[in-house]
């Protein structure tokens, strides 16, 4: 009997999450064993309310445009299922005749999908569940990398080249620029911000991933050293950077958390900017790209777009093969870069994080390690722009 498939998106959107959605839809519509392809609006939260659409009725031109459309076309959510919610979701799926679920998301989405797959087994409900990975944080275990990371890596690498030249040009006005980037508890995005760095004068000059505790006195000393050497300073800090006491650095409410227990962001860049001005007497500014960085199509990585799309197709292949309670993973074989796909149990992924390995942590002078360059540069989808710096041959006037 043909299966009815439902796909949903969850968590923070990316620039390529809809490319994965398109991959799922295309593969499912072309699969004889799948009768209908539905979409849940706003993830499991919308599904609980019965907000389901028929994706098979969408215009093919609209669907094709998903490949280059950012954010989540189906809508997203951050909703932690309670035990009683799982039964309600399963009842909704049964009500719509759905026996195959594809959930596109990150750590928290893996937790949700794993809970649903397990509860369906307990109830004897015929439901297969496959997750397509999605996160700019790049912190899912087992998979080599995550769709969404290549594009944010390209975005921050180019962005730091640009903001660095702005800071260099305005060094008489603002001597220090602090850029705060996303990434949750892992430093993959912080590290990517230095991929355009070629010499000591290039930004960023200082990097503070969440894996490194930030001692404020040491931070100020490092800023002062770079300022004396270069004449201006560009530092990149993780949104979740912590002090030596393990507490989040920032000016906001450290105790507010979402339903998954994640802290509300507390803007460390604002606090560090104030420290630089009050303690060092240097004029400073901070930039927080915010959601621009995670979903901007200005610097889409074509590699990221293609891999996200293929990961969506692989999810349907897995369902047709009878798999469930699994996540599609990206595999990097030896040799010239290319990507293959496999599956990993959700039990080994849900609620786990992959932090930046020691060999990828940037050097103290903010240069990417050779190991990290080898890992990250193929994901950018092409070379970064090369900015010019004038030699500045000064003219001497006769006295």
d(CA 312, CA 12): 17
CA distances from 172 to 129, 204, 382 (A): 57, 18, 35
Strands of the sheet containing 176-181, edge to edge, are: 206-208, 233-238, 176-181, 284-287
CA distance 149 to 278: 36
Residues known to be catalytic = 137
Tell me the backbone φ, ψ of residue 128, rounded to 5 degrees.
-105, 140
In which element (H, E) is residue 227 found? helix 216-230
Q: Is the preceding peptide bond at 229 cis, omega within 30 degrees of 0? A: no
The token duo for 219 is 């931070």
Distance CA 73, CA 56 (A): 15
In the chain, at which residue ranges do the beta strands (DSSP E only) sit? 3-9, 34-40, 52-54, 100-105, 128-133, 176-181, 206-208, 233-238, 284-287, 326-331, 340-345
Output the DSSP codes for 77-114: ---PPPHHHHHHHHHHHHHTT--EEEEEESHHHHHHHH
Cβ contacts of 36 within 8 Å, gap of 6 or more: 4, 5, 54, 56, 97
Q: What is the DSSP letter of 235?
A: E
**Partners of 6 in the β-ladder:** 38, 101
């Amino acid at each position: 009997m043909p299966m009815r498939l439902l796909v949903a998106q969850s968590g923070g959107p990316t620039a390529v999450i809809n490319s994965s959605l398109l991959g799922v839809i295309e593969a499912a519509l072309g699969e004889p064993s799948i009768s209908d392809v539905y979409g849940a609006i706003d993830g499991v939260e919308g599904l609980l309310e019965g907000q389901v659409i028929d994706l098979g009725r969408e215009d093919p031109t609209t669907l094709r445009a998903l490949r280059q459309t950012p954010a989540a076309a189906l809508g997203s959510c951050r909703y932690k299922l309670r035990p009683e919610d799982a039964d309600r979701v399963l009842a909704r799926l049964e009500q719509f005749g759905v026996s195959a679920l594809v959930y596109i998301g990150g750590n928290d989405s893996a937790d949700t999908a794993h809970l649903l797959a397990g509860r369906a087994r307990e109830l004897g409900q015929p439901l297969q569940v496959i997750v397509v990975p999605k996160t700019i944080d790049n912190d899912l275990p087992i998979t080599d990398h995550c769709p969404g990371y290549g594009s944010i890596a390209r975005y921050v690498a180019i962005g730091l080249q640009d903001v660095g030249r702005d800071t260099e040009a305005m060094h008489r006005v603002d001597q220090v620029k602090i850029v705060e980037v996303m990434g949750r508890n892992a430093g993959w995005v912080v590290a990517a911000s230095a991929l355009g760095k070629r010499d000591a004068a290039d930004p960023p000059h200082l990097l503070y991933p969440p894996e490194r505790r930030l001692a404020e006195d040491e931070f100020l000393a490092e800023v002062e050293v770079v300022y004396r050497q270069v004449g201006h300073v560009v530092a990149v800090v993780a949104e979740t950077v912590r002090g030596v006491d393990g507490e989040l650095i920032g000016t906001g409410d450290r105790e507010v958390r979402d339903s998954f227990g994640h802290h509300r962001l507390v803007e460390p860049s604002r606090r560090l900017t104030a420290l630089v001005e009050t303690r060092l007497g240097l004029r400073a500014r901070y930039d927080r790209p915010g959601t621009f960085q995670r979903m901007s199509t200005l610097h889409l990585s074509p590699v990221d777009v293609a891999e996200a799309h293929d990961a969506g197709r692989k999810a349907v292949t897995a369902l047709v093969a009878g798999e469930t309670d699994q996540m599609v993973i990206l595999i990097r074989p030896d040799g010239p870069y290319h990507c293959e796909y496999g599956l990993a149990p959700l039990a080994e992924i849900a609620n786990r994080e992959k932090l930046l390995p020691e060999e990828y942590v940037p050097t103290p002078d903010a240069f990417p390690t050779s190991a990290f360059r080898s890992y990250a540069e193929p994901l950018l989808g092409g070379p970064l722009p090369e900015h010019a710096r004038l030699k500045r041959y000064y003219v001497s006037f006769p006295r």
